[in-house]
Structure 1
Amino acid sequence: MDQRGTGSRDAQAADGRPHGHVRCTPPAAAELFEIAVLDTTGGDGQACWHTIGWGVDRGDADSIAQAYVTRPMSPYDEARVRHNGHLVGVHRRPQ
């Protein structure tokens, strides 16, 4: 799906000139912390990452990530916290 203003390759800057970069995160979401978990339950034997939610601050995101790797039923092996695309935290299931 290619929609103007939401990732279209022919997006333009405010002055009408085309530019080569389109934000993949809206400005309001750039303040959030992304939480992704490593899913190893796939039938093909491949592990893959899934975004499961967003935290409003670092503490909130770390708390959510930690809960997913320590929950009693089906804990994930690993959870990662990212802010503006940068890895800021890793949580692993206790061995």
Structure 2
Amino acid sequence: MDQRGTGGNVRTVEGRADGHVRCTPPAAAELFEIAVLDTTGDDGEARWHTIGWGVDRGHADSIAEAYVTRPLCPYAEAQVRQNGHLVNVHRRPA
């Protein structure tokens, strides 16, 4: 069985590929990842958690902003990334 990759590359069952095959499908690469900084851990360490995905930057920004401004347990910070690149940061108001 062959698995078609992007750019016409084909990867066979044996794992051979003629060229680079992307690990993120093109449609998923267009999504915006939303991650929040959780500072409530038992060990005192802050950790980043992905909480969801936005279909465009405006959608992702509005979700991230809601998580840092919500009245009950707001997160300290939220980041929006696209395809691994940081595109925006939202911080809890002082």
CA distance in 1, matches of 2:50, 2:35: 4
Q: Which residues in structure 2 correspond to 1:52-67 (within 5 Å)? A: 52-67=51-66
More helix by share: 2
The number of aligned residues is 83
Structure exhibiting the larger radius of gyration computed from Cα positions: 2
Structure 1 length-normalised TM: 0.77
Cα offset for 1:20? 7.6
- Structure 1 residue ranges without an equivalent (≥5): 6-12
CA distance in 2, matches of 1:56, 1:75: 23
Seq. identity, %: 72
- Per the alignment, residue 38 of structure 2 pairs with 39
Output the aligned Cα RMSD: 2.0
Structure 2 length-normalised TM: 0.78
CA distance in 2, matches of 1:15, 1:44: 44
More strand by share: 2
- Structure 2 residue ranges without an equivalent (≥5): 4-8
1:42-93 per-residue CA deviation (whole Å, 9 max, x = no partner) reads 1011100000000000000000000000000000000000000000000000
CA separation of 1:22 and 1:70: change in aligned 2, threshold 3 A? same
